[in-house]
Chain A
Amino acid sequence: MRLERRHRTSRAALVLAPVGAVAFTLLVSALLVLWAGAPVGRTYALLLQGGFGSVFAWSETLTRAIPLILTGLAATVAFKARLFNIGAEGQLYAGALAAVAVGGMHGGTGFDLPPWLLFPLMMAAAALAGALLLLGPALMKSRLGVDEVVTTLLINFIVLLGVSAMLDGPMKDPSAMGWPQSVSLQSELELSKLIAQTRVHTGLLWAAGLAVGVWLLFKYTVIGFDIRAVGANARAAAFAGVPVTRTVVCVALLSGALAGLAGAIEVAGRTSYVTLDMSPGYGYSGIVIAMLAGLHPLGVLAAGVFVAGVLVGADTMSRAIGVPTYIADVIVAASLIAVLVATLLTQYRVRLK
């Protein structure tokens, strides 16, 4: 068996590829559902209903989508320039912690500044914390050739342990009955709800706005060209006069800042304090979302909502029918692989000997 490059990609292939990917995903997951002894049709129906079937389902899905979209954007920006930032998880926690450091009720009250000043400070601190966390690996990559996959991945564990130390130490909430959690945010700094009686907050607008912003940046600006050129062919970009190192540093700051904001918006919109389990791997899921979206910033919005819906729907489905929620992880993972293979097949054909 071998792959041969197609000289041209037909329109039919471009339409069939995602359809085929979805069909493949449903098929693979159906086998596991059967293995778990549940009826396939009903399981999918419940999953769909739990994720998208009611106003409440949608509100939960969108709430879950907010951090996923932001970490998805962080991965998109970085991967577009071939800076493989696997550290969004750590950057998210760093951002969350920085947000509480600025806006938390330290000593019962926190900083005595008006909210209109403290809120931007809080967001800036979170963005800066995430950005600085990625700056080191980016510089090590471009100056010394150190592989950023390794450094960013390992920094995640350092950050998590650091957060753990803070939650049991200087930032511990004295009224939390010994639970390792931070002091909570000043209530004026919390994001307001988008729909009454639900958990959806205005962080969704932040996420959507930032997605549009990244899209504009990619398409219409010089730095956007630089990012795409460096990612596609760094040597040719350098020859054409793109400042490669500066671009990689910009990308690192931007990507880290987006992941840091994800943490701050989670705290300000949902949890109001930092715990060690506030993110069930949003940083890593962001990578999946970015790949699902084909590194397109607006695609990240759709992919983020899709993944969030599957996760939320699986919770509901699992309660009703007893198929473990891990089916959600299988669906997300299978859809990623299916999309990657389908994309490959639009560019290559398979020849059997």
Chain B
Amino acid sequence: MNTVLSLRGITKRFGALVANDAVSLDLQAGEVLALLGENGAGKSTLMSILFGHYVADEGRIEVFGRPLPPGNPKAALAAGVGMVHQHFTLADNLSVLDNVLMGTEPLWQPFSRRSAARAKLLDVAQRFGLPVQPDAKVGSLSVGERQRVEILKALYRDARILILDEPTAVLTPQESEALFDTLTQMVAQGLSIIFISHKLPEVLRVSHRIAVLRGGRLVAEARADHTTQAQLALWMVGHAIERTVRQPPRQIGDAVCVLDHVRTAGSGHDRLQDVSLALRAGEIVAVAGVSGNGQVALAELLSGTRRAIAGTVRLMGRELPPSPARLVQRGVARIPEDRHAVGVVGDLPVWENAVSERLRSRAFSRWLWVRRGAAKAHARSVEKAYDVRGAGLDAPARALSGGNMQKLILGRALMAPASASANKRTPRLIVAHQPTWGLDIGAVAYVQQQLIAARDAGAAVLLISDDLDEVLTLGDRVAVMHGGELGEARPAAAWTREAIGLAMAGS
């Protein structure tokens, strides 16, 4: 075999934190190497060093036998390293060809050599089995097609080594399959690929070799056909993890929240078009779909931050109040999609965030005067009951890790103050939007268990998630969103992965 990329003893420190600890890794010609690890394991840092965004404190990198100068993205590009980011870096208002060409032509060249460029693009597209229409506006493409453009951008620049950062996060199952086919074809053409992911099944499916990072260290390397999911999970987390298993609902009660032909405002697909849904006590309804198909509108509607413009939403028989504060009063627990930007106010201390939703209630304030003693005591019990670990109650919330931040949000939403009356102790409705996104396996299991426990305590749960495994594990009934419309919520047993995938794609 023939080594195309070699990382030797890469160490990167941020203060006391060692993000990469003497990581050495080789990539062979024509192989797919999966880089596996939880959030914070050091995958992104390592790739940022390779691509020149960071400078390593120690270690060196060789590409095709030649040393790569540190801290220089241009050098990485010139050496034939291309990166496809998880969040696309495309201009919606430009054509595919323009997006691919952007940055490849010198500024002082009087005319763009478009016909030559078009020929090269079509040639590359054909060679690697990535069909595109060069003149289509990127804004009109589907997510899978946009990703194709991102890949083409790298290939057009003659990349021989391609880094794909969580490429399936935004794809439907069918689109993911198409991507895997593309990878096979690219490898057959002699390209080498680094595939970054934390999803075990797909890692086993596409890669030849798997390298596992944990806590900044390379803890294991294995051939894909010589290992198992359980072994990989053990390496990744460092200890055995109990995965959440399906648990049938105990007792399904009356409808808690009923949406009847609801429309909301919003742009593009980010709105509800004639959505009807009943959420019943003691049941989890999971909504699957490719993100950007109205899930945000649905979550915001039931979180009190967006209004319906047609149809009715009733919560326990009464009109849904259009304000977050009153929703919380009526027993709605909300877990937002973006915990950093919406879930907590990062600059304020943990204890204030722990009571922020109920600060206006009698439990925590009198005549606009905050009862700091009561508020801090409640924050302490949330911290304890939900195992929020970090710098303590007075530290700013942004200092918490993702998992601990999510536990704080969960505790804030689910735990009523000690002084609340008996019938207000547990939430009536839980609206959880991507509650486990970006969490490590341990935290994922914890959050999922809490949702199941709340369901069994009699709450109606709406789970909106991009993660099919989560939808199928937790959902008692499953519905699929596409283009702002919500399909019928059918029992989970009535669905197959393929059927969900087709519904996600709108067919």
List the interface of chain A (C-beta within 8 A of B).
Answer: 4-8, 220-225, 228-229, 232-233, 235-243, 351, 353
A239 touches B325 (CB 8 A): no
Give the distance in Å from the alpha carbon of A232 to the alpha carbon of B341 in the complex: 10
Question: CB-nearest residue of chain A relative to B396?
Answer: A232
The 9 closest A-B CB pairs, nearest first, are: A241-B325, A240-B356, A232-B347, A241-B324, A7-B15, A233-B345, A236-B345, A222-B368, A232-B345
CA distance A233 to B340 in the complex (A): 10
Q: Is the CB of A241 within 8 A of B356?
A: yes
Interface-centre pick from A5, A222, A235, A241 (highest chain B CB count, 10 A): A241
Contact A229 B324 (CB under 8 A): no
- In the assembled complex, the CB of A218 is this many whole angstroms from the nearest CB of chain B, namely 11
Q: Say yes or no for B276: interface residue by CB 8 A criterion.
A: no
Q: Chain B's nearest CB lies how many Å from the CB of A77?
A: 16
A residues less than 8 Å from B494 (CB atoms): none
| Alpha-carbon separation in the docked complex, A8 to B14 (Å) | 10
- Determine if B370 and A229 form an interchain contact, defined as CB atoms under 8 angstroms apart: no
Contact of B328 with A by CB under 8 A: yes
Is B62 in the interface zone, CB < 8 Å from A? Answer: no
Question: Which chain B positions have C-beta within 8 A of A228?
Answer: 345, 347-348
A236/B368 contact (C-beta < 8 A), A241-B328, A353-B55 known: no
Interface with A: B155-163, B193-201, B357-365, which one? B357-365
Asked whether any CB of chain A lies closer than 8 Å to the CB of B140, the reply is no
Given contacts A7-B15, A235-B341, contact A240 B370 (CB under 8 A): no
Q: Chain B residues near A233 (CB, 8 Å)? A: 341, 345-347
Q: A7 to B304, alpha carbons, bound, how many Å? A: 35
Interface residues of B in 360-411 (CB under 8 A from A): 360, 365, 368-370, 372
Q: Is the Cβ of B71 less than 8 Å from the Cβ of A236?
A: no
Is residue B229 contacting chain A, with contact meaning CB distance below 8 A? no
A221 touches B369 (CB 8 A): yes
Residues of the B chain whose Cβ atoms lie less than 8 Å from the Cβ of A221: 368-370
Least CB separation from A229: chain B residue:
B345
Task: Give the size of the chain B interface in residues (CB under 8 angstroms).
Answer: 34
CA distance A268 to B185 in the complex (A): 83
Given contacts A220-B372, A228-B347, A233-B346, 8 further A-B contacts (CB under 8 A): A222-B368, A232-B348, A233-B347, A236-B345, A238-B324, A241-B359, A242-B356, A353-B71
Enumerate chain A residues within 8 angstroms of B55, measured Cβ to Cβ: 351, 353
Distance from B52 Cβ to chain A, minimum over Cβ atoms (Å)? 10
Q: List 12 A-B contacts (CB under 8 A).
A: A5-B14, A6-B15, A222-B365, A225-B352, A233-B346, A235-B341, A238-B324, A239-B303, A240-B324, A241-B304, A241-B325, A241-B356
* Bound CA span A237–B15, Å: 31
On whether the beta carbons of A238 and B341 are closer than 8 Å, the reply is: no
Contact A222 B356 (CB under 8 A): no
From A4, A8, A220, A236, name the one whose CB has the most chain B CB atoms within 10 angstroms: A236
Q: Does B142 sit within 8 A of A, measured CB to CB?
A: no
In the complex, chain A residues whose CB is within 8 Å of the CB of B422: none
CB distance from B382 to the nearest CB of A (A): 14
- A220-B369, A222-B370, A240-B357 in contact; A235/B342 too (CB < 8 A)? yes
Give A115 to B14 CA distance when docked, in angstroms.
65
Which listed residue (A5, A240, A243) contacts B345, Cβ 8 A?
Answer: A240
Residue numbers in B under 8 Å from A237 (CB-CB) = 345, 356
CB closest residue in chain A, given B326: A241
Residue contact B360 to A222, C-beta cutoff 8 Å: yes
Contact pick for A239, options B17, B336, B352, B370, CB 8 Å: B336
A229 touches B372 (CB 8 A): no
Chain B nearest CB, measured from A13 CB (Å): 12
List B contacts of A243 (CB < 8 A). Answer: 325
- State the CA gap A237–B353 with chains docked (Å): 10
Is B73 part of the contact surface with A, judged by Cβ < 8 Å?
no
Q: A225, B343: Cβ atoms under 8 Å?
A: no
Asked if A223 and B368 make an inter-chain contact with CB atoms under 8 angstroms apart, the answer reads: yes
Residues of the A chain whose Cβ atoms lie less than 8 Å from the Cβ of B341 = 233, 235-236
A239 to B365, CA, bound (A): 19
**B323 CB contacts on chain A under 8 angstroms:** 241
A241 and B16 in contact, given A233-B345, A236-B344 (Cβ under 8 angstroms): no
> What is the minimal beta-carbon distance from A160 to any residue of chain B, in angstroms?
36
- The listed residue with most B CB atoms (<10 A of its CB), out of A4, A222, A225, is A225
Which residues of chain A have C-beta atoms less than 8 A from B370's C-beta?
Answer: 220-222, 224-225
- Note all chain B residues with C-beta closer than 8 A to A242: 356
